[in-house]
């Protein structure tokens, strides 16, 4: 079904849009970054403030991005340009979406590297299952240090890392090249329910491991003394990144939405589902970690080193390991598809290319950057093409791309979005798109005009000057 009135390929239904948008938002930020951030920032205090930030910051920005796309019914930059033109504002406001398109392209290039790691771990656990059988834990008879070395060994194998990156990018390209209704939507409609089933099933399994009550206390016991400045800023940042804001994904997906869809209601559903996944991810991962007597503050290594070690002491450990990383792979795929769709949509509109060559062109560029990112984690770690930027001095390509997008481009794009929607765009046009009325409309506008840009400025400042807070 074409998005209403646009003649473009679009979502066949409101539920299809919601599932695709949830898939865009739910990704490694929920399953990897949220547990790591919660573990590193004291648990309950972080979680409570994170939920508050989703409501007061994430949700208003999410609605702002979606309404730009729905109003413009085009690629992200053209949708922003059209809204600016109809508001009597400068067409240069489209830079807010252009930054997002550029960020999405850079992110998908290194995001697929992490997706490749996930593919490797699926194979590792499948191989282990054939060796150890269904009973007992994973990696029987292997030293914990050997298990934790799987990830560094993978990163040190340049050919394997690049090959896995290309494999994950190829899967992503397959769905994007098929189009919105025939590719992205079908993927979301089938894979997102499967993702939720796996997430809940593994969480239920982990709850019988004896550490579920400890996890609940850890995640939801609010201790005011732990709510420090760094913890609050970490929570604001997680709320922002978890919803995949600032990469024009929701502007792009909004461009495929019909006029009959209430954007406020769907935005609430998307933000709620994303938050639910983040919280349940904590309830899924930490019982396994605590039951094995391991620490919760392992950071990014939590998923690729701590958890595989924890599966060693679990009944059916290899099976649970397979299911867990399949679940992570699904979440990573739905997000990578959204990221690749953003620049593909832009290139199609900019050049007139059909979808398949446009998607292949973007994927080829992402493949080159992805290879550099993959290799910068091992033997080419001393190769820094962006070493002239003081903020990223001494970092490899992977970290530079991650830093540029998460610390600069994404926050700047989101700040410009809030200023544009809250202060520049024609108020009548904006109000006609939100689906809000009365007091809710007043509250949303206040948040977009004042609270959101200030909070996002704080994220930007801390990203550029990380030593500015204690």
- Over the stretch 172-211, which tens digit does the pLDDT of each residue have? 999 999 999 999 999 999 999 999 999 999 899 888 866 8
Cβ within 8 Å of residue 294, ≥6 positions away: 306, 309, 310
Q: Of 291, 286, 148, which is closest to residue 221 (Cα–Cα)?
A: 286
Average pLDDT, the chain: 88
Torsion of CA 252, 254, 255, 261, to 10 degrees: 170
Confidence of residue 36 (pLDDT cuts 50, 70, 90): confident
- Predicted confidence at residue 1, as pLDDT, reads 42
Could you give the percent of the chain with pLDDT greater than 70? 91
Confidence of residue 300 (pLDDT cuts 50, 70, 90): low
- Could you give the domains of the chain? 2-468 (1.20.1740)
Q: Is residue 335 a contact partner of residue 174, using CB atoms and an 8 Å limit? A: no
- Predicted confidence at residue 20, as pLDDT, reads 95
Confidence of residue 379 (pLDDT cuts 50, 70, 90): very low
Half-sphere exposure of 23 (CA within 13 A, CB side): 30
Taking each helix axis as running N to C, give the angle between helix 185-207 and helix 263-291, from 0 to 180 degrees, rounded to the nearest 10: 40
pLDDT digits (tens, 9 = 90+) for 400-448: 888 889 889 999 999 999 999 999 999 999 999 999 989 999 999 999 9
Does the pLDDT at position 327 exceed 90? yes
Confidence of residue 11 (pLDDT cuts 50, 70, 90): very high
Could you give the percent of the chain with pLDDT greater than 90? 59
- For residue 457, give both structure tokens: 């400025």
Cβ within 8 Å of residue 210, ≥6 positions away: 287, 291
Confidence of residue 219 (pLDDT cuts 50, 70, 90): confident
Predicted model pTM: 0.92
pLDDT digits (tens, 9 = 90+) for 271-290: 999 999 999 988 988 888 88
Q: Is residue 237 a contact partner of residue 49, using CB atoms and an 8 Å limit? A: no
pLDDT digits (tens, 9 = 90+) for 239-256: 998 898 999 999 999 999
pLDDT digits (tens, 9 = 90+) for 94-153: 999 999 999 999 999 999 999 999 999 999 999 988 887 776 677 887 888 888 889 888
Start-to-end CA distance of the chain, whole Å, equals: 52
- Predicted confidence at residue 123, as pLDDT, reads 94
Range of lowest pLDDT (12-21, 27-36, 161-170, 248-257): 27-36
Confidence of residue 385 (pLDDT cuts 50, 70, 90): very low
- Predicted confidence at residue 298, as pLDDT, reads 64
Does the pLDDT at position 6 exceed 60? no
Greater confidence (422 vs 6) lies with 422
* 3 state SS of 393: coil
- Predicted confidence at residue 175, as pLDDT, reads 97
Does the pLDDT at position 386 exceed 50? no
Q: Is residue 368 a contact partner of residue 166, using CB atoms and an 8 Å limit? A: no
Length of the chain: 470
Rounded to whole angstroms, how far apart are CA atoms 325 and 333? 12
Q: Of 81, 92, 79, 364, which is closest to residue 249 (Cα–Cα)?
A: 79
Rounded to whole angstroms, how far apart are CA atoms 277 and 355? 32
The partner residues of 8 in beta bridges, in order of sequence, read 3
Q: Of 1, 8, 86, which is closest to residue 428 (Cα–Cα)?
A: 86
Greater confidence (344 vs 394) lies with 344
Rounded to whole angstroms, how far apart are CA atoms 224 and 45? 7
CA angle 370, 373, 377 (to 5 degrees): 145
Across 73-82, 389-398, 454-463, which has the greatest mean pLDDT? 73-82
Q: Is residue 253 a contact partner of residue 173, using CB atoms and an 8 Å limit? A: no
* 3 state SS of 111: helix
Q: How far from 156 is each of 121, 153, 161, 254, CA to CA, in Å? A: 15, 5, 8, 40
- Predicted confidence at residue 95, as pLDDT, reads 97
Segments in 26-94 forming alpha helices (H):
28, 34-40, 44-53, 59-72, 76-86
């Amino acid at each position: 079904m074409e998005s209403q009135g646009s003649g473009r390929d679009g979502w066949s239904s409101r539920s299809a849009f919601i599932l695709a948008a949830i898939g865009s938002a739910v990704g490694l930020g929920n399953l990897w970054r949220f547990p790591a951030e919660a573990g590193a920032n004291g648990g309950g205090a972080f979680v409570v403030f994170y939920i508050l930030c989703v409501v007061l910051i994430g949700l208003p920005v999410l609605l702002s991005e979606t309404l730009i796309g729905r109003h413009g019914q085009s690629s992200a930059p053209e949708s922003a340009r059209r809204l600016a033109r109809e508001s009597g504002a400068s067409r240069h406001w489209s830079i807010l979406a252009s930054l997002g398109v550029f960020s999405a392209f850079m992110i998908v290039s290194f995001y697929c590297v992490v997706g490749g790691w996930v593919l490797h771990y699926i194979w590792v656990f499948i191989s282990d299952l054939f060796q150890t059988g269904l009973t007992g834990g994973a990696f029987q008879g292997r030293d914990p240090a050997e298990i934790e070395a799987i990830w560094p060994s993978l990163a040190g194998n340049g050919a394997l890392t690049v090959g896995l990156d290309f494999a994950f990018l190829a899967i992503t390209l397959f769905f994007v090249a098929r189009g919105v209704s025939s590719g992205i939507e079908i993927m979301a409609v089938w894979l997102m329910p499967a993702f939720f089933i796996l997430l809940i099933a593994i969480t239920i399994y982990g709850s019988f491991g004896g550490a579920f009550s400890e996890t609940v206390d850890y995640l939801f016991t609010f201790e005011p003394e732990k709510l420090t400045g760094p913890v609050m800023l970490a929570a604001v940042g997680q709320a922002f990144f978890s919803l995949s804001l600032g990469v024009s994904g929701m502007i792009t997906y909004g461009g495929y939405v019909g006029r009959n869809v209430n954007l406020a209601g769907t935005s609430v559903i998307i933000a709620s589902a994303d938050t639910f996944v983040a919280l349940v991810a904590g309830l899924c991962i930490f019982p396994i970690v605590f039951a094995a007597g391991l620490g919760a503050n392992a950071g990014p290594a939590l998923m690729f080193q701590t958890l595989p070690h924890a599966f060693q002491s679990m009944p059916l450990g290899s099976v649970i390991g397979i299911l867990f990383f399949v679940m992570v792979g699904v979440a990573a795929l739905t997000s990578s598809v959204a990221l690749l769709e953003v620049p593909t949509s832009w290139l199609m509109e900019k050049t007139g290319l059909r979808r398949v060559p446009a998607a292949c062109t973007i994927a080829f560029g992402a493949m080159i950057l992805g290879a550099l990112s993959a290799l910068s984690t091992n033997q080419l770690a001393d190769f820094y093409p962006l070493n002239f930027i003081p903020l990223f001095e001494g970092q490899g390509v992977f970290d530079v791309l991650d830093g540029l997008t998460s610390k600069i481009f994404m926050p700047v794009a989101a700040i410009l979005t809030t200023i544009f929607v809250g202060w520049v765009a024609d108020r009548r046009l904006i109000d006609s798109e939100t689906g809000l009325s009365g007091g809710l409309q007043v509250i949303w506008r206040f948040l977009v005009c004042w609270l959101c840009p200030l909070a996002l400025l704080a994220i930007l400042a801390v990203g550029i000057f990380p030593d500015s807070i204690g």
